[in-house]
Structure formats: C-alpha cells, structure tokens
Homo-oligomer: A and B are copies of this chain.
Amino acid sequence: MTDEPKTIAFVLYPGLTLLDLAGPLQVLGALSDLGLPYRAVTVSERKEPIGTDTPMSLLATHTFAEIPKPAAVVVPGGGTPTIRALTDETLLSYLRGAAERAEFVTSVCTGSMILGAAGLLDGREATTHWLYRETLKEFGATPVAKRWVEDGPVITAAGVSAGIDLALHLVGRIAGDEVQRGVQFMIEYDPEPPLGPLDWSAAPVEMFHPWAEATLRQGLEGHPELLARLLVHV
C-alpha cells in the first residue's frame, strides 16, 4: 500500500522576492529527502520563466491548473510586483481554490497581503513585513507583530527571512521536533547577524516609509480605491 505524497505548492508570480520563496522551499523541500510523504512543487500561471526582484528568473515545475488542490500552499511576497498581484484575479482565484482543501495556507512577507486580497485572512490574526503590517486591517485581519502567526490553517510570516522560521515551524507541525532539528542542522541554521538582532526602537522608518508608499502607488496604479485604503496604514 503506497500513499500518494501530499503536495506543498509554492506559488510563483512575476517579480516576487527570491528569498521569501527560497527559504521555505529549501526547508520544506527537505521533507521528501528525509523520506516523509510530502512533495514540494512550484506553480505558476504558465510554464514560462518568471522574473524575480533579483537578477535571475525561475521556472516552475507545474502550472496552477495542474495543482488545483494542494495540501499546503506557500505565497512569497515582494515589493511593487507583489502589490500589483493584489489585483491579479487569476492568482487570487487560484489561491481561493487551493485554500479550500489545504491543511496549511501560508505566506511570507507581503505574501499575506495577497492572501488578504483573496479574502483568506478575514477574521484572522496575521502578520507581514513590518512596513506593511497595519495594511492587513483592510483585509479584515488583525495584525500581530510576531515572527510568524498561526490562526487555524493560515500561517503568515513576517518579512523575507522570516519564511525560514515559519517553514521550520511547519516541519515541526508535520513531522515533529526531531525532524525539524534535523532540517535545521542540514541548513546549518544557527544565525549570527553580524550586527546582532534588530533593534526595533531604532528601525529606520523615515528611510523606508517613502519607499513603502511609492511601492503601493506603483503597484496599485489604476486601483485608486484600494490604494487609498492601504495608504492610510503606511
């Protein structure tokens, strides 16, 4: 008797932030290497190279249509292209369908804003990149300043690198602490930020807020109503 492995779908869309995707993909992709009944796949609308916010394009293994009902879904975030994706009905519709039977609906960074735009954060606690955290209110969510936030099947991570922590947590949920620790050793995740942990009392808000606002304005050109609602919060 062989069980079909459960599919974890990593959602690619143009301009995503590479590390949002790569952290969880590396961590959760290790489940099958360890003999666990999961398989990671990458999905995009079409089988074409997808640009990222780095000088590199990606090729997914599957189209949205080929993986309509994954067991788990991971949505990476990004800057202007991610804000643009908030009104990408093809992507949103895929996520709504994928979420219907998924055990875990997850995001990294501003990927949670996409989940929100798809209506999947309504009434839930969630997080996102620190610069955009309050915008989650506009999607019916309660923003929480944590590294990752779990509310039922929905688990959202803070900015970019937080996807690694979320994914390790998810490995623990799926396969227990011993496997989680094994994966942590495998990726030698024993972080030493050269300048130490972030001092949130010294966050360079003035440096970043104009950028956050510009990102919203560029990403939501042609969508003045949503733009106005989100701008209140950055």
Contacts and interface: CB of A to CB of B under 8 A. Distances in A.
A160 interface: yes
Contact of A19 (B12, B60, B187, B194): B187
A192 interface: yes
Contacts of A158: 188, 190
Interface stretch (A87-95, A99-107, A112-120, A162-170): A162-170
Chain A interface bracket (under 10, 10 to 19, 20 to 34, 35 or more):
35 or more
A58 interface: yes
Contacts of A17: 26
Contacts of A26: 17-19, 53-54, 160
A63 B210 CA distance: 36
A195 interface: yes
Nearest to A159: B188
A144 to B, nearest CB: 14
Given A22-B22, A54-B29, A161 B189 contact: yes
Given A54-B40, A55-B42, A203 B185 contact: yes
A111 to B, nearest CB: 13
A43 to B, nearest CB: 10
Interface in A33-67: 39-42, 49, 53-61
27 contacts: A10-B56, A17-B26, A18-B22, A19-B25, A19-B187, A22-B23, A25-B56, A26-B53, A29-B55, A42-B55, A56-B58, A56-B61, A57-B58, A58-B58, A158-B188, A158-B190, A159-B186, A160-B186, A160-B187, A161-B189, A161-B190, A161-B191, A162-B192, A165-B193, A180-B194, A185-B204, A190-B193
